[in-house]
């Protein structure tokens, strides 16, 4: 029934006669709560549409994972998933490596974890992967039986593709020699640190090119560059 048929007591509450009827009283409260929830959902959706980020929300009650409308335009998929676990199975949104990393992060999530933040690639509607920063904020509930479960979560996807590619390029330039593609000193140091921290055995081979100065002096530096590049190709094809 419309709210007008249940007069207010002047303070936003219900008149005493309606409180005396538990069924009517509960029905009125449920209607008002549901209306307020719908209004909040509409506000959230409008706010999400104004954001440059792609936002999402999941609730255990509905089981639905909802993304802001921009999600459909960018990824060519429905913005509402009937089950959030779909994204943990093979799908067209996540490259396999990133899907497994996301699954690993979520399945190993300790109870009461407030939030996680990670970077992964998502496949756009044109079939090309782009880098995104994923932020997820979790909300936990106590069941009363000494059990804790996630009741809902919200989050956002921020495209960082240009920044990530620039960072990767800088890392590539700092790690590898631009001419030969072999490690620079800093890159070699990082590789050795990783290898020495692992149980597997490895070998380190020192090599030198005899009389390389004569090659530069007699044939020129351009020829010397070609020589170094060819030498690096030989190393790569014979060593690992």
Residues 21-77: tens digit of each pLDDT: 777 777 777 777 777 776 666 666 655 555 678 999 998 888 999 998 889 999 999
> At which residue do the structure tokens 């959030």 appear?
84
153: β partners: 58, 138
Cα–Cα distance, 57 to 68 (Å, whole number): 9
What are the pLDDT digits (tens) for 139-154? 888 665 556 788 889 8
Within 10 A of 49 (CB to CB), how many other CB atoms are there? Answer: 11
Cα–Cα distance, 9 to 19 (Å, whole number): 11
Q: Where are the alpha helices (DSSP H) in the chain?
A: 16-19, 22-50, 70-75, 96-107, 161-175, 185-196, 212-219, 221-238
| Window from 118-127, 131-140, 164-173, 226-235 with minimum mean pLDDT | 164-173
DSSP SS3 for 225:
helix
CA distances from residue 206 to 60, 108, 203, 233 in whole angstroms, order as listed: 59, 42, 10, 16
Query: Torsion-angle region of residue 54: left (phi > 0), alpha (psi -120 to 50) or beta?
Result: beta
What are the pLDDT digits (tens) for 212-240? 899 889 999 999 999 999 999 988 888 76
CA distances from residue 90 to 100, 103, 219 in whole angstroms, order as listed: 9, 11, 56
Length of the chain: 240
Q: What is the 3-state secondary structure (H, E, C) of 141-190?
A: EECCCCCEEEEEEEEEEEECHHHHHHHHHHHHHHHECCCCCCECHHHHHH
Q: Are 126 and 138 in contact (CB under 8 A)?
A: no
């Amino acid at each position: 029934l419309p709210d007008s048929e249940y007069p207010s007591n002047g303070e936003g509450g219900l008149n005493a006669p309606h409180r005396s009827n538990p069924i009517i009283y509960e029905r009125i409260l449920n209607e008002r709560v549901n209306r307020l929830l719908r209004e909040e959902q509409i506000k959230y959706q409008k706010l999400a549409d104004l954001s440059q980020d792609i936002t999402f929300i999941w609730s255990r009650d509905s089981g639905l994972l909802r993304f802001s409308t921009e999600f459909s335009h960018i990824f060519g998929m429905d913005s509402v998933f009937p089950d959030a676990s779909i994204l943990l199975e093979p799908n067209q949104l996540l490259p396999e490596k990133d899907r497994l990393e996301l699954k690993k992060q979520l399945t190993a999530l300790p109870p009461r974890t407030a939030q996680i933040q990670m970077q992964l690639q998502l496949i756009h509607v044109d079939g090309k992967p782009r880098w995104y920063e994923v932020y997820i904020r979790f909300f936990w509930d106590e069941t009363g039986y000494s059990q804790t479960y996630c009741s809902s979560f919200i989050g956002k996807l921020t495209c960082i593709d240009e920044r990530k590619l620039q960072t990767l390029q800088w890392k590539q330039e700092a790690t590898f020699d631009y001419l030969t593609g072999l490690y620079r000193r800093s890159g070699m140091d990082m590789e050795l640190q990783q290898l020495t921290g692992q149980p597997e055995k490895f070998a380190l081979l020192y090599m030198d090119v005899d009389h390389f100065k004569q090659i530069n002096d007699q044939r020129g530096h351009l020829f010397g560059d070609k020589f170094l590049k060819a030498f690096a190709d030989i190393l790569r094809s014979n060593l690992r």
